[in-house]
Amino acid sequence: MVAPVVALAAFMEVLDISIANVALDHIAGSLSVSIDTSTWVLTSYTVTNAIVVPISGWLSSVVGRKRFFLTSIAGFSIASLLCGLAPSLGLLVLFRAIQGIAGGGLQPASQAILADAFPPAKRGTAFALYGLAVVFAPAIGPTLGGWITDSATWRWVFLINVPVGIVVFVLVEMLVSDPAYLVKQRLARLRQGIRLDWIGFSLLTLGLGGMQIVLDRGQQDDWFSSTFILLLTVAFVAGLIAFVVWEIYDKDPIVDLRLLARRNFGIANLQMFALGLVLLASTALLPIFVQSRLGYTALDAGLVLTPGGIALVFIMPIMGRLVTKVDAKWLIATGFVISGLSLLMMGGFTTQTDYWTIVWVRAFQAAGLAFLFIPINTAAYMGLPQEKSSNASALINMSRNVGGSIGISLTTAFLTRSSQLHQSELVQNASRFNDNYREAIERLGHAFARLPGEAANAAQHAAAVVYQNILAQANMLAFIDDFRALALLSFLLIPLAFLLKKTNGADVHAGH
């Protein structure tokens, strides 16, 4: 009973990230602001969320994990209510920031509760349910968000969290309790006196908060041509470096980075970073591709992703059992192979690719994600002391979230730059000295000349049509470049799986 309830809390939080994306147009129109300005609704959430996720382990040890989890659920639900009732963009951005603070603890606390509630031999099943929450949510988010926005109003994108939050809060209060070791750990910390690592927290806020703003706003502000983006980049890089050095040498760090020195845990975090990058980047690219190049509606674009999410519902439980019988390194390697092959298939898409081809390729990719998510999490926790569960969960969720943010930002920027590059290459062929170009202009010119009143402008219309085709093909080639780059990354990560220690059989049952 604990597993689905706790996973539902994580599902609610992850869903709220992707579900709000599709409502931006409606939010901008309703509150009379530009689309560019309305994106602060997303940025305010991701910035505060990114800061809270890594410190959630420390917060759990101070206030108690169950109390922290319940406070996060209550805060997230109240902030969702306020977002749904917000009369202006300023207040909506403020309430979204509060929602990000409250929601930041839901994913790590959920995973830590599951890691402690299940014995190591059955932990794969627990992570299967958690994986459904954090992988399935982004897949159905755009579809659900589009349907809610079209059927009701954008405000229900946020208000829908309120009844779900109330139900989850009541069930968590009834079913979840802190393990004895965590209670003892908290009492010992209270006896010693609570010490907040202010320097570490300040550096973390500057580092992760600044990075998230740069990633969210960089493309819109033309990256380093913007003085604000340039200065903030220097600040967040310096902040992150100083944060790492400080936390390693601090006696009571707010984020236990020393865990990354453990072989399995460090490699698993790198793999989870890559998984977040590939998953969220491709999840962001596919809807843009089918809408911009194939003319799909927002709802149809969401429906392209949904079957992949449904496939996960069936594959994840199987993988939860399989991970206790097969060495995780082989499953992870298989997952990266499937991920790479599926992305290569996406790199073969054209403007003539049909709906079902895209759906099946996405479902194939989803199968690869199931081979990655559960084995990576299982490998990460092997040999880890039980009292480190909350800190470990905070770090591995941070790795996935940061990877996703970087993936979306880089692929979006690469899409724009690559499209411009291909456009400049194709335009070079748009010359009278090119036989194909000349024949196309003449053929189109004759067609326009036969239309009433178009004879005088036939040549201009023909040139405009050819130029539009050049832009479309350049953009198509850019999508291919993006998908192939993600495929290459997936293949390059395969050897990393074999650096993990053996995690099947007796090792799984050995526990912490």
Residues in CB range of 62: below 8 A, 6 or more apart: 186, 189, 194
Name every residue whose Cβ is closer than 8 Å to that of residue 32 and which is 6 or more positions away in sequence.
none
Cα atoms found within 13 Å of the Cα of residue 216, Cβ hemisphere only:
22
Taking residues 446-453, what's their average pLDDT? 62
DSSP output for 133-177: HHHHHHHHHHHHHHHHHHHS-THHHHHTHHHHHHHHHHHHHHH--
| Domain spanning 1-194: CATH superfamily | MFS general substrate transporter like domains (1.20.1250.20)
Rounded distance between C-alpha atoms, residue 24 and residue 17, angstroms: 12
pLDDT digits (tens, 9 = 90+) for 213-266: 888 777 777 777 888 888 988 998 998 899 888 888 877 777 888 888 888 888
Distance of CA 224 to the CA centre of its chain: 24
Residue 503 or residue 136, greater confidence = 136
The reported pLDDT for the residue numbered 509 is 37
Structure tokens at 337: 């192979």
Task: Provide, rounded to the nearest whole percent, the portion of the chain with pLDDT above 70.
Answer: 88
Q: What angle do CA 415, 419, 424 make, to 5 degrees?
A: 155
- Could you give the CA distance from residue 92 to residue 147 in angstroms, rounded to a whole number? 21
**pLDDT given at position 78:** 93
Domain definitions of the chain by residue range: 1-194, 197-253, 258-512
Tens digit of each residue's pLDDT (9 = 90 or more) over 36-91: 677 777 778 878 888 888 888 878 878 888 888 899 999 999 999 999 888 888 89
- Highest mean pLDDT pick, 43-57, 361-375, 434-448: 361-375
Asked if pLDDT for residue 505 goes beyond 60, the answer is no
One fold for 1-194 and 258-512: yes
**What contacts 428, CB < 8 A, 6 or more positions away?**
none
CATH class of this structure's domain 258-512: mainly alpha
CB 138 within 8 A of CB 11: no
Question: What's the rounded Cα separation, in Å, for the pair 428 and 425?
Answer: 6
Q: pTM for the whole thing?
A: 0.78
> Minimal CA–CA distance to 349: which of 490, 489, 481, 480?
480
How high does pLDDT run on average in the chain?
Answer: 80
pLDDT digits (tens, 9 = 90+) for 111-139: 788 877 777 677 777 777 777 777 777 77
